[in-house]
Amino acid sequence: MRAKVSMITGAAGEVGQALIQRLAETEAYAEPGDGRQPFGDDEHYILTLDLKPLPPEIARHVIQVEGSILDTALLDRLVSEYEIEEIYHLAALLSTRAEFSPDAAHRVNVEGTMGLLHLAAQQSEWRGESVRFIFPSSIAVFGLPDLQTKESYARVREWEWNYPTTMYGCNKLYCEMLGNYFSRHYRQLAADQPTSLDFRSVRFPGLVSAYTVPSGGSSDYGPEMLHAAAKGVPYSCFVREDVRIPFMAMPDAVKALIDLAHAPRQRLNRPVYNVTSFSLSAAQFREQVLCHFPDAQISFSPDLKRQKIVDTWPSDLDDSAAQRDWGWKPEYNVERAFAEYLVPNIRERYQGNTAGHAD
Ligand code: SER
């Protein structure tokens, strides 16, 4: 018997680490222990795949595999050893990094996703039951042509302005479509259309975690500003003060993925949903940071090229479809996000090295 698993790719990244911790808190997954016990037939495990190792405190919850999503021999081995019931496909090169190496970004973001969609489709057919495929997409799939348009289309809906200007945004938009294709139309001309995968996707705004700092994204100025303040080091923001995009605290991002994964399929009228929680200009983000770290030194020296990318992203998202179809509701508005999640945990993380005053 193969052990039943939920597979998480890109598990060592920001979202991956937070997701594992949340999933491990539920009763639904067994821990693999020291590997000497055989896997239980009725148990479900978390299987992770990443090039990098997980921090030990997270690794103990999972069956950890170090490797690439592009390694087809490795994927074949995993399928032979495990019954993959669900995939959280988080591995990706983010928007800034992808501009420096667009070919590599295409390989990882598109070819990597295609390989996993194939795997999920085959597994679904084999089991006669759909493998759920949860895919985080991004505000980078939007591309507003200029600031005036950005101003007038404040809350952008899923199907509006799908004209990405970055390799990452193009990759995400195309993979949303591939996911929908595999889920609803794969082998549509076959005499007997087989069971295929169940693709579900959310478009995230900029994510902010108390425990990890993102790398290679264009919304990174928010979290970078906050973590620099907590460490007591000066920060120079790479976008203008007036630049506004939506953000979300990491626990809400994880909640969105899990809530969407568990939503009854018949309730889902779309393959892809916008989700958001609060929208801030870079100056307002700085004000929030200063409320908690009043001595923080935050200046603005825009990098015009990175700035240009963020200028094409919407200032807010309309997530009413997610609210209506699967009850999406963030737990953290901006005040709660800073006061109850970000600041206390960040202070603890950099304890003894804070620029601010205790609340
Ligand atoms: N945070 C991502 C980035 O900046 C956008 O989804 O690339």
Q: What is the DSSP string of 294-331?
A: TT--EEE---HHHHHHHHTS-SEE--HHHHHHH----S
**Rounded CA gap, 28 and 42, in Å?**
11
Ligand 1 centre distance from Cα of residue 203 (Å):
10
> For position 34, what pLDDT does the model report?
54
The identity of residue 136, as a single letter, is P
Q: Which two tokens stand for residue 288?
A: 């929030």
Please check the confidence at residue 352 and state whether its pLDDT lies above 80: no
Flag whether pLDDT at 32 surpasses 90. Answer: no
Q: Name the pairing type of β-strands 63-66 and 316-317.
A: unpaired
Give the model's pLDDT for residue 37: 58
Expressed in angstroms and rounded, the spacing between residue 340 Cα and the centre of ligand 1 is: 24
Which residue has the CA at smallest separation from atom 2 of ligand 1? 217
Nearest CA to 337 among 206, 209, 220? Answer: 209
Closest ligand 1 atom to the C-alpha of 205? 6
Ligand 1 mutation target, pool 15, 95, 166, 175, most atoms within 8 A of CB = 95
Nearest one of 145, 182, 41, 166 to 94, comparing CA atoms? 166
The residue-averaged pLDDT of 3-23 equals: 96
Asked if residue 218 has its Cβ within 6 Å of ligand 1, the reply is yes
Query: Largest Cα–Cα distance of the chain, in whole Å?
Result: 69
Q: Which of 220, 224, 245, 276 to mutate to test the pocket of ligand 1 (most atoms within 8 A of CB)?
A: 220
For the chain, the straight-line distance linking the first and the last C-alpha, in angstroms and rounded, comes to: 54
Percent of the chain with pLDDT over 70: 96
DSSP string across 214-281: --S-SSTHHHHHHHHHHHT--EEESS-TT-EEEEEEHHHHHHHHHHHHHS-GGG---SEEE---EEEE
Q: What is the CATH number of domain 92-349?
A: 3.40.50.720
Q: How confident is the model at residue 191 (pLDDT cuts 50, 70, 90)?
A: confident
Ligand 1 within 6 A of 275 CB?
Answer: no
Per-residue model confidence (pLDDT) at position 101: 97
- Is 37 or 207 the better-scoring residue by pLDDT? 207
CA 250 – CA 43 distance, rounded (Å): 28
Q: Which residue type occupies 34?
A: D
Closest ligand 1 atom to 216 CA: 7
97 CA from centroid of ligand 1 (Å) = 10
* Res 260 pLDDT > 50: yes
Q: Count CB neighbours of 189 within 10 A.
A: 6
pLDDT at 12: 97
For the ranges 21-35, 43-57, 187-201, 345-359, which has the lowest average pLDDT? 345-359
Residue 35: predicted pLDDT: 57
Question: What's the 138 CA to ligand 1 centre distance in angstroms?
Answer: 7
CB 253 within 8 A of CB 212: no
Centre of ligand 1 to C-alpha 266, Å, is 30
Q: Is the CB of 133 under 6 A from ligand 1?
A: no
Share of the chain above pLDDT 90, in %: 88
Residue scoring higher pLDDT (352 or 332) = 332
Q: How far is Cα 166 from Cα 106, in angstroms, rounded to an integer?
A: 11
Confidence of residue 43 (pLDDT cuts 50, 70, 90): confident
User: pLDDT category, 2, cuts 50, 70, 90?
Assistant: confident
Give the chain's mean pLDDT.
94
Q: Is 135 in the pocket of ligand 1 (CB under 6 A)?
A: no
Residue 351's pLDDT is: 76
> What pLDDT digit, counting tens, does each position of 82-124 carry?
999 999 999 999 999 999 999 999 999 999 999 999 999 999 9
Q: What is the pLDDT of residue 356?
A: 40
Higher pLDDT, residue 33 or 314: 314
Q: Residue 323 to residues 274, 275, 316: CA-CA distances in angstroms?
A: 10, 9, 15
pLDDT tens-digit readout, 160-178: 999 999 999 999 999 999 9
Mean pLDDT of 219-228: 97
